[in-house]
Structure 1
Amino acid sequence: MNDIELKETLIDIKNNDFHVPEELSDFEAVKYVMRALHSTDSDLRDDLGYTILSKWLIEFKLLDGSELIMLLKQAVSEELLFNKISEGVSDHVFLRSFSALLIALILYRDNHEHFISRQKYMELLQQLNHYCELENDYRSFVEGKGWAHAPAHISDALDECAQNRFVGESECLAIWKSLLMMLRNAPTVFDAEEDERMATAVVSMITAKKITVSVLLQWLHAVTLNKPNQSVHALAFRKYLIQRVNMKHFVRCVYFRLKNAALLDQEADDALMKLERAFNPYF
């Protein structure tokens, strides 16, 4: 089946109040819709494919725990989350990025239904960390193809990880290291609120009482950016500037999210403001 036929079928599903086609089991239907996640057609991939999966898995609660575990295993495989990840910037990012969103949906279900074992969760956390280490296509909106947005989408999965029942401070640190890798590795300044999605995962650690604000401050204070002793026109300086601006924006996101949630005492407020100035030394 080509993308045109797939799109027509998914339109029918959406127009039929998202009912599962009678000729398919729930698991077969979910696997069928997952074919849309690779597409460079944003209507097919996002407005139809992801929307249907979200509706089915979250609202309709299709699939039981054992089926969702099978789906998760496929989602973190070389065929989906790690698909052609060594190739650099390419259309394969759409499948990887939307596989991250699928993982987030499954983790959301697990946070409410508890079907993933501690061992499987820890393995998943390592896989997501490895993905953050390898991903190098950081494009946000791609003209004619829609949202790639890999850092934002994997941050959604990490946000669900941060709320998991198996998470303690050490697991939160692993999640933070994944986020920090993306902040360090981004080839450009984030332009589509990726930093907000990353901040969401960190704020979730605090609101879920997995870590305290003081622990977060320790992590942020430990971040060092090596300013190169080179001309401001040199490539190395440009890389440093991108890292510094992304960290500055991230700290601001975290600060205002925590402040608006009344989670900062005066000491923590002052400490975050001081951190912001460290990443914003010229203004």
Structure 2
Amino acid sequence: MELKLRLKELQEKELSCLSNRELEELIENMLENIGAIDPELRDHLIYPTFIRFIDEGMLSEDNRLYLFNTCLDDHHLFYKIGEINTDSVFTRSFSSLVLTGLLSYDRQVGQFSKDYIDLSFKKAIDYLSLELDTRGYVEEKGWAHSIAHGADLLVSIVKHPLFNKGQFHEVLEVLENCLFKDATYIDDEDERLIFVLEALHETNIDEKMLEDWIIQIFNGLESIYENEGFSNNYFRKKFNITNFLKTLYFRIGFKRVQEMIKESLNTLHQKVYS
């Protein structure tokens, strides 16, 4: 039976109707098509079905570990990493979303060891660093949203009780990397990246660390100006950074950080428009 039809039928049924063999065969078929360019199949059938399997406890420990390891591998999260404007981004991006679901569920059940959480963190950092296809919505093919989905994955790791709080610097570094990618974020990527900072805030990140990081971001933007002047590249990076920091201003309750953002954005405005 065609996968799309099978998944549509399953939407109207209890998952308990599946035998173990049927479940495992369906998981394999869904993994093979996780990056399908048909947005209905990918966004509205495969991904939600994976989340149903996870959240409704349909997956055994072995199933969850298999799905975790498969989605992290070079054929999924890192499938053809480095390509730009090709369909491979859908496989990478939606693998990260399934991993997000698995890690969020594991916060409740506690199956994954610290080694697994450390591995997922390393892979998430590598993925967000290496991903070059930063498209949000792709006409006729739906959401790619690689940076947003990668940020969701990072949030699920930072919120996990086994996350190593000594890795705050690495999280901030990869967020900065995302802001300085060759991209213009217009599909709420800034909101999704802010979720990572909110997770760090909940995990008691030091306010001074956040202040130093914001200064570093502005210094990076200034470095582009010194090398290129008011280039297209400068204005694209400025667009990403200012949108991100405006959102951060209203979402993080550190008063000194808010004041720093306000002053820095005002200085930037005077520099560009005075």
- Measure how far apart 1:228 and its partner are: 4.1
Q: Deviations over 1:2-55 (max 9, x none)?
A: xxx111111111122455534735444333333331210100000111111112
Q: Distance in 2 between matches of 1:273 and 1:231?
A: 23
TM-score, reference length from structure 2:
0.89
1:57 matches 2:46: no
Structure number with the higher helix fraction is 2
1:13 matches 2:10: yes
Q: State how 1:186-201 maps to structure 2 within 5 Å.
A: 187-201=182-196
> Could you tell me which residue of structure 2 aligns to residue 37 of structure 1?
34
Q: Distance in 2 between matches of 1:205 and 1:55?
A: 28
- Given that residues 35 and 91 in structure 2 are in contact (C-alpha distance below 8 angstroms), is that contact kept between their aligned partners in structure 1? yes
- What 5-or-longer segments of structure 1 have no aligned partner? none
Q: Distance in 1 between matches of 2:95 and 2:240?
A: 25
Distance 1:57 1:243, change over 3 A: same
CA RMSD of aligned residues (A): 2.1
Q: Deviations over 1:125-176 (max 9, x none)?
A: 1211111122111111111110001000010000111112233443222122
Question: Which amino acid letter does the alignment assign opposite residue 72 of structure 1?
Answer: F
Q: Distance in 1 between matches of 2:268 and 2:22?
A: 53
Q: Distance in 1 between matches of 2:110 and 2:228?
A: 52
Q: State how 1:1-283 maps to structure 2 within 5 Å.
A: 5-22=2-19, 24-58=21-55, 60-185=56-181, 187-209=182-204, 211-223=205-217, 224-225=220-221, 226=223, 227-230=225-228, 232=230, 237-258=231-252, 263-265=253-255, 267-280=256-269, 281-282=271-272
TM-score, reference length from structure 1:
0.86
Q: Distance in 1 between matches of 2:215 and 2:164?
A: 20
Question: Which amino acid letter does the alignment assign opposite residue 254 of structure 2?
Answer: L
Once structures 1 and 2 are overlaid, which stretch shifts more, 101-110 or 168-177? 168-177
- Measure how far apart 1:188 and its partner are: 2.9
Distance 1:27 1:171, change over 3 A: farther
